[in-house]
Amino acid sequence: MKLKRKFYGRPTLDVTRDLLGKNLVHYIDGKRLVGKIVEAEAYIGTVDKAAHSYNNKKTRRNEVMFGPPGHAYVYLIYGMYNCINAVTQDEGEGTATLIRAVEPVENIEIMAHNRYNKPIEELKKRQIFNLTSGPGKLCMAMGITNKNSNGMDLCGDTLWIEKAEENEAFEIVETTRVNIDYAEEAVHFPWRFYIKDNPFVSQK
DNA sequence: ACATCGATCTAC
DNA sequence: TAGATCGATGTG
**Tell me, what CATH number does A117's domain have?**
3.10.300.10
pLDDT category, A166, cuts 50, 70, 90?
Answer: confident
Residue A202, domain member (yes or no): no
Report the distance from CA of residue A168 to the C1' of nucleotide C3 in Å, as an integer.
41
Residue A182, domain member (yes or no): yes
CB of A173 nearer than 7 A to strand B: no
A118-157 residues near strand B (Cβ < 7 Å): 130, 134-138
Residue A36, domain member (yes or no): yes
Rounded to whole angstroms, how far apart are CA atoms A124 and A101?
19
Q: Per residue in A38-65, pLDDT tens?
A: 999 999 999 999 999 999 999 999 999 9
Total domains, chain A:
1
Is the entire prediction scored with pTM above 0.85?
Answer: yes
Helix H or strand E segment including A148? helix A146-149
pLDDT category, A203, cuts 50, 70, 90?
Answer: confident
Residue ranges making up the domain that contains A68: 5-193
Residue A200, domain member (yes or no): no
Residue A186, domain member (yes or no): yes
CB of A65 nearer than 7 A to strand B: yes
Q: Does the pLDDT at position A165 exceed 80?
A: yes
pLDDT category, A204, cuts 50, 70, 90?
Answer: low
